[in-house]
Amino acid sequence: MNIEYEIVFACDNGERYLDIDQKSIKKQIKGLSEEEKEKKIREIYDATGKENNVKKSYFANYDITEDRWYEDIRFLNGKKYKGQVDLLVGGSPCQSFSRGTLFYDYARLIKEIQPKAFIFENVTGLLNHDDGKTWNVIKDVFENLNYHIKFKVMDAQFYGLPQMRKRVFVVGINNNIDYKKEFE
């Protein structure tokens, strides 16, 4: 199947970890324009001295420009893309369920952008982490954003990839869209 698409924006820090916390970064970008904020965030990540291999791969495989690439979801202003995105695809690191909050930034982007649909991917442990409480929170957050959601565990080996890799995929369709019953 050949589906025509355009990548509106992309974001990934390429596993470049910072020695500076979010609060300190917010102080550095306070009062800056959106463009200046994005530039400062890039400078902070570039100062790690590590290459963003995810970005390098992305630019080699997709038609995207520097001004539509973001290093850190925590500082991405989704409001500038409201009404421009049909499908938002992403996920948060699996370890964030025990020590972080990046899922909430993904949810914030859904709220700000209001895509017609989204796909959220993660490890299957998401479903039973903390006796299922984590999954219930995530499900509730998505539903409270006005999305009808379904999820399914899928294994990469059954989709043409040479590895056994199970992942949970959550699909959300905006409740304002008259989706077909096949989604059920």
Beta strand 69-70 pairing with 117-123: unpaired
Token pair for 26: 């917010």
Amino acid symbol at 49:
G
Reading the block at residue 78, the tokens are: 């989704």
How far, in Å, CA of 7 to CA of 23, rounded? Answer: 30
Catalytic machinery residues:
94
* DSSP state letters, 2-15: --------EE--TT
